[in-house]
Amino acid sequence: MEGIQTEEGYFSARDGLRLFWHTAKAQSPAAHVAVVHGYAEHLGRHAEVTRALADAGYTVHLLDCRGHGQSGGKRAHADNFDQYLSDLELFLARVKEQARGLPVFLVGHSHGGLIAARYLLDKPEAVRGVVLSSPYFRLKLEVPALKILAGKLMARIFPSLPMRNDLKAEQLTRDVAIQNATKADPLYQQIATPGWFTASNGAQETVLRRATEFVTPFLMLFGGADPIADPAAGREFFEAATSKDKQHKQYDGLLHELFHEPERDLVFKDVIGWLYERAQDSARAAAGR
C-alpha cells in the first residue's frame, strides 16, 4: 500500500491452523483497528477502508478467517462457531500487544460482524468499541426450503461439503469495477458448507436472543437496499442492546458492501468520525489519571 508501511505473516490458531494477517501502520496512530471480513471473502478486499483508516491516523490490522483467503483450513468452513471466536481472541491479543496501551477498536463486516458481536457478548470490554458493517444477523436472501433441508441433513453427514452459494457480485455493490474485480478474484469463494450454515445460524440466534446483554460501545451501519444481511435484524439487535453508547445509521439505496459502494467515502467519514470521538475520550481519560 503506497505511502503506508505494511507487514504481514502468519500465526497459529489453538488447533495449529495457520492464520494470515496483514497490518497497515500509521506513523503516529491515535488507536489501532482490527478488521474482520465477511464470509467467502478475504482481507485483501478491504484495501479501501484500510487506506482510509490509515490515512486518518489509525494502524489497521486485518485477519483472514480460517477457511478464507491465505489462511489454512477447509474452504469456507469451520467445524463450529467457537473456532472463529477463539481465532479472534488470539488475533486481538496480538493487536493489543502492538497497540501498547492505545485504544483498540474492532470493525466487523457481514459475517465478521456476527463473529464480533458474538465474541463481545462474552468479552464486552475486549475492545474500546466496535463498528458493525452490514452485520449478518439474519439472512435476507430467500433460500429454497429443499436446499435448507438438504443442508441440515448434510451438516450431520458431511458438514464440510462444498455447496455453491447464491451470492452474485451485483448484490454486493453497485460499483461495476469492484463487481468485475470480485468475479475475477481467485480468493473470493462461491461456496458455502452445511456445517458453516448450521453454526452461523446458531450464532445468529444467540446474538439476537442475548442482545439485551450487549454493552460494548458500537456503531451499526446498514445499506437500506441490502439484499443479503437483513437490516431489520440489525435494527432488532440495536434496539435491544443495552450499550450506553450506541449509534445506528442506514444509507438508503446502498447494498451489502458499504465499504465498496460508490458512496463509500461518506461511509468512511462516518466511521472515522465515530472512532475519533472515542479515541479522544480515551486519550483524555488516560491524561487525567
92 pLDDT band, cuts 50/70/90, is: very high
Residue 74, burial from CB neighbour count under 10 angstroms (0-12, 13-18, 19+)? middle
- C-alpha to C-alpha distance for 43 and 49, rounded to whole angstroms: 11
Q: Determine the distance from the C-alpha atom of residue 170 to the mean position of all C-alpha atoms in its chain, rounded to a whole number.
A: 20
Task: Please tell me whether the overall predicted TM-score, pTM, comes out greater than 0.75 for this model.
Answer: yes
pLDDT digits (tens, 9 = 90+) for 228-252: 999 999 999 999 999 999 999 999 9
- Options 3.90.550.10, 1.10.10.10, 3.30.1490.20, 3.40.50.1820; CATH for 5-142+199-282 is 3.40.50.1820
- C-alpha to C-alpha distance for 112 and 95, rounded to whole angstroms: 17
The ranges assigned to domains in the chain are 5-142+199-282
- C-alpha to C-alpha distance for 127 and 209, rounded to whole angstroms: 22
Mean pLDDT of the chain: 94
Q: Is the pLDDT of residue 172 over 80?
A: yes
